[in-house]
């Protein structure tokens, strides 16, 4: 890690700790990884974070994160789609785990998905922002990344947790995801994908990056 007087400004964009916007700026692939001044001098390379508009079950990664129901049943949206593609074995594995509290995560094999693992995390239901929703959502990302790290995953795909039926505002959800990924990538190497399915979330993500 850099010491206190060493710059951590992206040498492409002059933005503190920027590691991501190169992808969205459509730079040539040779320029797509952002380096801090410190990393460039030390020869370090950080693997990028990328936002993708896709069905998460199409991702070829080591770990796919599922927005799980708190109880061991198949929920709606992303949860339903992941179980559909993974097959009935995934629900059996999920039932062995039992209930999962909001903000927590658990890991199972991925079965028929193009991944090694499914990481099940329970996002918070948005009420009014005064019921620890942001803290719990941050914990979802942090605990999922920790499980991926412990299981030697080199790549992971996240949905935008809690931003669907749980009603978490998309802009706040994106900011929390980006913040957690940024902190994690300062110390670890992992390919992180944030997979969004709808056009609105994807366009919003681009606007957020442009403001960074």
Task: Measure the CA–CA gap between 188 and 186, rounded to whole angstroms.
Answer: 6
Q: Which residues contact 125 (CB under 8 A, 6 or more apart)?
A: 102, 133, 162, 166, 167
3-state class (DSSP) for residue 92: helix
Parallel, antiparallel, or unpaired for β 117-121 and 63-67? parallel
Burial of 157: CB neighbours in 10 Å, binned 0-12, 13-18, 19+: buried
Q: Strand, helix or coil at 73? A: coil
Structure tokens at 104: 């927590």
Of residues 16, 55, 79, 128, which has the active-site annotation? 79
Torsion, CA 182, CA 183, CA 186, CA 190, rounded to 10: -70
Is 16 catalytic? The answer is no
Q: Which residues are catalytic?
A: 79
């Amino acid at each position: 890690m850099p010491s206190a007087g060493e710059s951590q400004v992206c040498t492409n964009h002059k933005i503190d700790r920027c590691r991501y916007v190169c992808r969205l700026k459509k730079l040539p692939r040779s320029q797509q990884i952002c380096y801090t001044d410190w990393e460039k001098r030390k020869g370090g390379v950080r693997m990028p974070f990328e936002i993708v508009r896709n069905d998460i079950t199409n991702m070829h990664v080591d770990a796919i994160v599922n927005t799980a129901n708190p109880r061991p049943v198949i929920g709606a949206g992303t949860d339903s789609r992941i179980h559909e593609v993974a097959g009935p074995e995934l629900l059996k594995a999920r039932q062995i785990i039992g209930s999962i509290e909001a903000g927590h995560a658990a890991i199972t094999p991925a079965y028929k998905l193009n991944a090694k693992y499914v990481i099940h995390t329970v996002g918070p239901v948005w009420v009014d922002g005064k019921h620890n929703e942001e803290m719990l959502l941050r914990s979802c990302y942090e605990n999922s990344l920790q499980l991926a790290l412990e299981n030697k995953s080199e790549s992971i795909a996240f949905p935008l947790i809690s931003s669907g039926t749980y009603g978490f505002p998309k802009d706040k959800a994106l900011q929390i995801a980006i913040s957690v990924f940024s902190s994690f990538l300062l110390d670890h190497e992992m390919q992180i994908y944030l997979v969004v399915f709808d056009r609105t979330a994807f366009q919003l993500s681009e606007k957020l990056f442009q403001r960074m």
